[in-house]
């Protein structure tokens, strides 16, 4: 942490803030409403099967992307911060793969040993 000097002059820290036109936020706000309405419509109109799951994931990722990118100002940050924050969660997918196989195995043993037992 060698940035003590930089922080001491807190005068320039004020200039570092994210400042963007309000219109951007309103646009994203409306989009979030539309996407939420979309994902609710998936349930309301009983869309089933792969189409349901695909739509849910698309709406979810779109909403998450807009929130992180604009509301949390990620598009305006430098790559040093973007990579540090957004890269690690990707590895959760490895965990997902592990647990999917583990859950399949548990399900299999349960159907073999517990079927008809209870």
Q: Which residues bind other proteins (CB under 8 A)?
A: 2-3, 6-7, 10, 12-20, 22, 25-26, 28-29, 32-33, 36, 39-40, 42-44, 46, 52-53, 56-57, 59-60, 63-64, 67-68, 70-73, 75-81, 83-85, 88-89, 92, 95-96, 99-100, 102-104, 106-107, 110-111, 114-115
Return all residues near 66 (Cβ < 8 A) that are at least 6 apart: 28, 31, 32, 35
| C-alpha separations of 6 from 12, 63, 80, 89 in Å | 9, 36, 18, 30
Least distance in angstroms from the C-beta of 64 to other proteins: 5
């Amino acid at each position: 942490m060698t940035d003590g000097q930089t922080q001491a002059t807190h005068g320039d820290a004020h200039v570092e803030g994210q400042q963007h036109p309000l219109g951007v936020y309103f646009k994203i706000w409306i989009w979030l409403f539309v996407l939420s309405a979309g994902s609710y419509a998936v349930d309301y109109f009983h869309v089933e099967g792969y189409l349901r799951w695909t739509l849910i994931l698309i709406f979810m990722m779109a909403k998450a992307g807009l929130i992180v990118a604009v509301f949390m100002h990620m598009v305006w940050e430098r790559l040093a911060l973007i990579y540090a924050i957004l890269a690690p969660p990707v590895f959760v997918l490895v965990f997902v793969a592990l647990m999917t196989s583990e859950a399949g195995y548990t399900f299999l043993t349960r159907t073999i040993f517990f079927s008809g037992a209870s």
